[in-house]
């Protein structure tokens, strides 16, 4: 039983073993590997999206565009259960239903394991009721319609001012900054200021005082700063804003201690349609 319901190391597959590109890894579980007899057939809607437009009527012809947004969407996984009797079928369905539980779960596909989606299974249906080897499908609803990269990294070089500009061409949609880690400071300083610029205009800032020698970390997910491994939130300035740190290509980030720029490493994620 544990073999059917444990985590699978997908890197241990034989090189000559066929891997279905639409096979799904749901919350760490490779369904084609772990569910008895399950074979993914197709995944519908992986690249589909719908954009709605809000507009107002004009006095003359047509309408005036106000804004648009990408709507939530669905991905449908079609599968086949290759079981031989009712016991195997019931076991497979129980494992499948148990594995697919949970709201807003992370999942990936075999051919794009460097990316992930967030979704909730809202429907599981058997299309051939009464057979031991039925076809079926389950529907994943994505209230967040985007696909995300796992953490990417950007490093600045203080000797090259252009290195503070983020050149990532995949940042078409705003990507979330996760963590900023500075080079180790040889001595204590009065203040650290990290600033995000877009088209030369400051759009977000984190700053704190009484900076200790050593590495400085701004963790945007945790909304915390660390000076030489110590939690330094009590030294934050009221102007600091963690939630506004979303980056696009050609944005720039500068980290300054007592007027001097220092190097840093940035961890961020990219989102795609």
Residue 161 has pLDDT above 80, yes or no: no
pLDDT, residue 132, reads 85
Output the pLDDT for position 220: 96
**What would the pLDDT profile of 30-80 be if each residue is shown by its tens digit?**
999 999 899 999 999 999 999 999 999 988 888 998 999 999 999 999 999
Q: Is the pLDDT of residue 245 over 50?
A: yes
How far apart CA 165 and CA 177 sit, in angstroms, is 14
Q: How far is CA 54 from CA 57, 61, 64, 67, 68, in A?
A: 10, 16, 9, 5, 6
Of the chain, the end-to-end C-alpha distance in Å amounts to: 38
Q: What is the pLDDT of residues 92-150, one digit of tens each?
A: 999 999 999 999 999 999 999 999 999 999 999 998 877 888 999 999 999 999 999 98
The token duo for 121 is: 């299974």
According to DSSP, the β-strands at 73-81 and 135-142 are: antiparallel
Residue 18 above 90 pLDDT? no
Closest alpha carbon to 196 in 231, 226, 156, 169 = 156
Distance of CA 55 to the CA centre of its chain: 31
pLDDT score recorded for residue 15: 42
134 within 8 A of 39, measured Cβ to Cβ: no
Q: What distances in angstroms separate CA 111 from CA 108, 148, 170, one per listed residue? A: 9, 14, 19
pLDDT of residue 141: 98
177 compared with 10, residue with greater pLDDT: 177
Domains of the chain (ranges, CATH numbers): 10-145 (2.40.30.200), 151-272 (2.60.120.860)
Measured between alpha carbons, how far is 80 from 190 in angstroms, rounded to an integer? 64
Query: In terms of pTM, does the model score above 0.85?
Result: no
pLDDT at 200 over 80: yes
Mean pLDDT taken over the chain = 89
Does the structure show a pLDDT above 90 at 2?
no
For residue 160, what pLDDT is reported?
61
């Amino acid at each position: 039983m544990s073999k059917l319901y444990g985590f699978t190391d997908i890197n241990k597959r034989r090189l000559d073993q066929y891997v279905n590109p639409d096979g799904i890894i749901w919350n760490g579980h490779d369904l084609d590997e772990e569910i008895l007899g399950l074979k993914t057939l197709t995944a519908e809607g992986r690249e589909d999206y719908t954009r709605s437009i809000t507009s107002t009527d004009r006095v003359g012809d047509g309408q005036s565009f106000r804004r648009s947004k990408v709507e939530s969407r669905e991905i449908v996984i079609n599968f086949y259960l290759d079981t031989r009797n009712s016991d195997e079928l019931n076991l497979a369905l129980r494992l499948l239903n148990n594995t697919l539980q949970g709201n807003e779960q992370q999942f990936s596909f075999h051919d794009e394991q460097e990316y992930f989606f967030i979704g909730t299974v809202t429907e599981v249906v058997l299309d051939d009721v009464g057979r031991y080897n039925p076809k079926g499908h389950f529907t994943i609803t994505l209230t967040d319609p985007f696909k995300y990269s796992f953490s990417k990294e950007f490093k600045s070089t203080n000797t090259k001012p252009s290195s503070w500009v983020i050149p990532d061409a995949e940042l078409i949609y705003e990507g979330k900054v996760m963590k900023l880690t500075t080079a180790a400071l040889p001595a204590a300083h009065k203040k650290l200021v990290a600033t995000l610029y877009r088209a030369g205009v400051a759009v977000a800032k984190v700053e704190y005082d009484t900076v200790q020698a050593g590495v400085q970390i701004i963790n945007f997910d945790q909304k915390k700063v660390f000076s030489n491994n110590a939690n330094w939130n009590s030294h934050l300035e009221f102007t600091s804003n963690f939630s506004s740190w979303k980056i696009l290509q050609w944005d720039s980030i500068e980290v300054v201690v007592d007027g001097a720029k220092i190097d840093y490493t940035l961890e961020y994620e990219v989102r795609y349609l």
